[in-house]
Structure 1
Amino acid sequence: MEITLDKHSANQASIKIKLTEADYQPKVDAKLKDYAKKVSIKGFRPGKAPVSMVKNIYGTSILVDEINSILGDSLNNYIKEQSFRILGDPLPVEKVEDQIDWKKQKDFDFEYKIGFVENFELPIDENLEAVKYQIQVDDKLVDETIQNLKSQYGESTNPESVEAGDHVYGDVKAKEGDFEHTVSLDLSKITKKLAEKFIGKGKEDVVDFDAKDVKKGQWEEAFGLTEEDVKDLSGALSFTIKNVNRKAEAEMNQEFFDKIFGPDQVKTEEEFIAKVKETLQSSYDRESQVFTEEELKKTLVEKANLDLPEDFLKEWLLRANEGKVTEKDVENEFPAYSRQLIWSLISNEIARANDIKAEHADVIEKTKEMIREQFASSGLGSSMEESMDMFVDNYLQGNEGQNYMNMLTSAQNDKVLAYVQEKIKLVEKNLSIDDFKELLEK
């Protein structure tokens, strides 16, 4: 057997494997003899058919199986001996002129395309600098949050006539064309000039306006309609009022405090304000951590400066998902895929170089955190702890074990990022909510 490597570029190559009869024939002969002992052929007792007859019937398929087995083992072993890290899987090179005649050929030539990155080192020390972001909750956000809570938990009424800030339920339709939708319109989210047309109106009253009176984004934010719903909308419109909904602000009393934080968790207005601020800060602390880690990943990716074999990876993705994706799909998704692949290579290298491993206990705790967050958002957080082990087991056993592997990878990434933040130079930077929003928009 002869194996050669032909590098076409810094990250793509071909592996050529030449097999002679001596490489495969002994294994084929042994397989034929073993098969002859078991196979049933008409006219012969089981296991008594001549080897020559077995070879005539099954010889080609046995030859193909054995050569494929030899190729797989040889290719894997050869790749393991190399200094580079292969990406994806080797792709067989199929040429029309190299059609195999399995019955007559004795020697066989095979070629595979591979994509790879060379082994790399990424020192993690104080020469590497990154920013640790801390979002600061200010009084303005606390006041806005409390105001929203008071509006959300206030008493709903259905008055006879519309006032500023009401929600107006009804039918909006075009004077010409078939545009017609039933909506709940939030008057606080349209222009003051348009909202004034609704003031004082009541049930079954009709408000006339023009599509241009609704500014960009207000169709979705105020009317609850999508861009697709209104993409060709223009000209005169009418709104027939079917109902008016108004929420009075909730009073700052014990009943309100209990609705937000549970019975007797806070007793006074001062305690309530402090609790709101604490809750907001806790939430933004998590966002600060996530943002810091994402920016740190970008820093590490830039520092590693890995050059991926894009052409090879795109071809591999297309062939590996044959029938499921198109070339356009691969082109559209490749930037996100390549970012994740580079981070995975970096994370694995840091873990290998520094003996960082996620254990089973880490996976369990990571899964519990995920489930707690999901239940918390549904308001059931405190009621599911007694069933936590069941939820964790069900999740980790799902998706044929892939959920477990995903959580294992996630837990290891967490450990890698924590290790990096301990070792490098982290410069702390406080951000206001507005500063944070500006960073996200960049």
Structure 2
Amino acid sequence: MEISLDKHSANQASVKIKLNEADYQPKVDAKLKDYAKKANIKGFRPGKAPVSMVKKMYGTSVLVDEINEILSSSLNNYLKEQTFKILGDPLPMIEDADSIDWKTQTEFEFQYKIGFVEEIEFKLDDSLKATSYKVEMNDAEVEEAITNLRSQYGKMTNPEVSEENDFLYGDLKSEDGTFEKTFSLPLSKVEKKSLKKFVGVKKGDVVELDPSKAIKEDLAQTVGVEEEEVEKLSGKFTFTVQNINRTELADFNQEFFDKLFGPGQVDSEEAMRAKVQEIISDNYNKEAAVYSDEQIKDKLIESANIELPEAFLKEWLIRANEGKVTEEQVEKEYPIYAKQLTWTLISGKIAKDNEIKAEHEDVIEKTKEMIREQFASSGMGAQMEESMGMFVDNYLQGNEGQNYMQMLTSVQNDKVLAFVKEKANVKEEKISADKFKELLEN
């Protein structure tokens, strides 16, 4: 057997494997003899058929199986000995395989494409600068959140006359009759100058409008049409009111508090406001932590400057997901995949160099945290803790063990990022919710 490597570029190569009879024939002969001992062939007693007949019947398939097994183990062992990091899986040259004559050939040559990266280098010290954001809530933002919750748990009514923030259910028609749609119009989405037309109306009233000017945002979604139909919503239209819907805000009472946080968790308006502020702040700061982590990843990815074998990886993604993805989908999603792969390579090196490992106990604790968050507002705190072991086992054993592996990867990622932050120059900055939203949008 001969194995050789031919590098085509800094990150792509081909591996050639040559086999002769001595490499595979002894295994083929042994397998055929074993077949002959077990074969049940018409005209012969079980196990008494001549090997020559068994070879004629099964020889080619046994040959193919044995050679494939030799190729697989030989290629894997050879690649393990290399200093570079293999990406994806080796891709067999299909045109070479199609030209093989399994009945007459005694020597075989196979080629595989491989993609790899050499040494991964980056700086991990205080030259890596990052910002950790702490989001601070103001009273107006908390009040807005509380109003939204009161609306969500409020009572629906159908008043005679409309007011601001009502929903008008009715028929939208174009003057020329080419468009007609029945939908619910939130007056909160009506432009200020046009709003007065919709306030004070009753059932059966008709309002004249130009939807493209009167509805200030999400025109297609508000009316309920596809984006390509938006151009039809310009010009003279009428809206005939069929019904007026209004949500009366929920009262600050125990029933409302229990719906929000579970029975007996909060017993006063003051405590409810404090709880809402705490939850919103926690949510923002979790999001801010994710944002900061992504910024750190981006800077490490940039400093490492890893050149991935793009052409190879795109081909591998298509062949590995045969029939599930198109070339267009791979082209579109490749940048996201490449970024994640690069971070995985960097994270793996940091973990290996610094002996960072995700332990089973860490996986259990992280799973518990996830479950507690999911049940946070259910009011089942005590009962949930009593059955926590069952919840954890059910989750980690689900999805054929993939849930466990995903959680293990998540824990490893958390540990690596914590290590990076210890080495990097991370400064904390207090920021308003509005300012943080601007950061996310940019």
CA contact 1:184–1:224 (8 Å) conserved in 2 = no
Letter in 1 for 2:158: N
Counterpart Cα distance in 2 of 1:254 and 1:31: 77
8 A Cα contact 1:86 1:115, kept in partner: yes
Matched, 1:84 2:84: yes
- 1:407 is matched with 407
Equivalence for 2:346 = 346
Q: Which amino acid aligns with 2:189?
A: K
Question: Do structure 1's residue 11 and structure 2's residue 17 form an aligned pair?
Answer: no
Q: Which residue in the other structure is 1:188 paired with?
A: 188
Map 1:40-439 onto structure 2 (within 5 A). 40-95=40-95, 99-122=99-122, 124-153=124-153, 156-177=156-177, 179-215=179-215, 217-219=217-219, 223=223, 227=227, 230-249=230-249, 260-261=260-261, 270-376=270-376, 379=378, 382=381, 384-439=384-439
SS of residue matched to 1:238:
strand
Note closer, same or farther for the CA distance 1:394–1:307 as it changes in structure 2 (3 Å cut): same
Shift of 1:96: 6.1
The number of residue pairs the alignment matches comes to 441
Report the secondary structure of 2:198's partner residue.
coil
Name which of structure 1's ranges 425-434 and 90-99 shifts more when overlaid on structure 2: 90-99
Are the structure 2 counterparts of residues 97 and 284 from structure 1 closer, same or farther at C-alpha, using a change threshold of 3 Å? closer
Structure 2 unmatched runs, 5+: none
Distance of aligned partners of 1:97 and 1:425 in 2 relative to their CA distance in 1, 3 Å threshold: closer
Q: Does the CA contact (< 8 Å) of 2:263 and 2:379 recur in 1? A: no
Q: Distance in 2 between matches of 1:21 and 1:266?
A: 80
Distance 1:40 1:255, change over 3 A: closer
DSSP 3-state at the match of 1:357:
coil
More off after superposition, 15-24 vs 382-391: 382-391
- Relative to structure 1, the CA distance from residue 266 to residue 398 in structure 2 (aligned partners, 3 Å threshold; closer, same or farther) is closer
Counterpart amino acid of residue 305 in structure 2: N
Q: The residue matched to 1:95 in structure 2 has which SS?
A: helix
More deviation, 166-175/413-422: 166-175
| Residue type at the aligned position of 2:275 | K
Percentage of pairs with the same residue: 62
> Which residue identity is paired with 1:82?
Q
Q: Which amino acid aligns with 1:45?
A: R
Distance in 1 between residues matched to 2:410 and 2:196, nearest whole Å = 52
Cα deviation for residue 33 of structure 1 reads: 1.8
Alpha-carbon offset, residue 246 of structure 1 = 3.0
Structure 2 length-normalised TM: 0.90
> 1:169, 1:243 within 8 Å by CA — same for their partners in 2?
yes
Question: Bigger shift: 115-124 or 67-76?
Answer: 115-124
Aligned equivalents of 1:297, 1:206: Cα separation in 2? 56
Structure 1 residues without counterparts, runs of 5 or longer = none
Please say if residues 189 and 221 of structure 1, whose CA atoms lie closer than 8 Å, have aligned partners that are also in contact. Answer: no
Aligned to 2:2: 2
For residues 208 and 118 of structure 1, the distance between their equivalents in structure 2, rounded to whole angstroms, comes to 68
Letter in 1 for 2:62: I
SS in 1 for 2:94: coil
Alpha-carbon shift at residue 297 of structure 1 (Å): 1.2
Once the two structures are overlaid, the 10-residue window that deviates more, 139-148 or 52-61, is: 139-148
Q: Deviations over 1:345-379 (max 9, x none)?
A: 112221111222222222233233333334447x5
Of stretches 272-281 and 67-76 in structure 1, the one that deviates more from structure 2 is 272-281
Cα distance, 1:331 vs structure 2: 0.7
Which secondary structure state, in structure 2, belongs to the residue aligned with residue 9 of structure 1? Answer: coil
Q: CA shift at 1:9, angstroms?
A: 0.4
Shift of 1:166: 2.1
Deviation per CA, 1:45-102: give whole Å up to 9, x if none.
1222222222222221111111111100100000000011111111111336971122
Distance 1:62 1:258 in 2: 69
One-letter amino acid matched to 1:134? K
Cα-Cα RMSD: 2.7
3-state secondary structure, aligned to 1:37: helix
